[in-house]
Chain A
Amino acid sequence: SQQGEEDPQALSIQEGENATMNCSYKTSINNLQWYRQNSGRGLVHLILIRSNEREKHSGRLRVTLDTSKKSSSLLITASRAADTASYFCATDARDSSYKLIFGSGTRLLVRP
């Protein structure tokens, strides 16, 4: 079963605009990660935020984490056509399995 749910499921914006994706999860976590996937192939790690962190930046990416609301957001500023992809949040299971639990993803389309 999926731990996280991304919102919206799909997002279409113009190049240069900002894109915001949200993720909600159900259980307590050690960390939350965001991954990107192009055309149904391998996932690429974007950023990891620990449960004791509230905000993190990496280039044009800004991630926030609100553990009280069990939610996170990913902001991509000044989007480019090359940002077109699916974006997934993933949380650790906090059990002995060491697995990552992925959400259902947001499909982002950046129109040139």
Chain B
Amino acid sequence: DAGVTQSPTHLIKTRGQHVTLRCSPISGHKSVSWYQQVLGQGPQFIFQYYEKEERGRGNFPDRFSARQFPNYSSELNVNALLLGDSALYLCASSLELGTANEKLFFGSGTQLSVL
């Protein structure tokens, strides 16, 4: 079975542009989460979606938005890009909602560079 897939793997944008990152969860997984990882730090939570509804949002500005589609795939959108948005964006899926007893399955990430 395929794991979590993310596209594109690398992306270069300039300040002010917008970007859309895509994620396909493991088949049968209903929950998708997005994390931002700046070089040298641990991942930071951006969003969680379950059954197409936003179930959690991290401390990120409104320039960040996301959605989940009926097939459980997801998109992360970032508008008005800043240099500080340069990071590895990780998508993770899990079977159900909640982290108390569930592990996350991560994709390989999208490396975004903002120039």
Contacts and interface: CB of A to CB of B under 8 A. Distances in A.
Contacts of B113: none
Given A97-B57, A99-B48, A31 B42 contact: no
Chain A contact patch, size range: 20 to 34
A75 interface: no
Contacts of A97: 45, 48, 55-58
A102 B103 CA distance: 13
Given A40-B88, A43-B106, A105-B42, A99 B101 contact: no
Interface residues of B, number: 35
A105 B40 CA distance: 8
A96 interface: yes
A98 B58 CA distance: 10
A43 B94 CA distance: 13
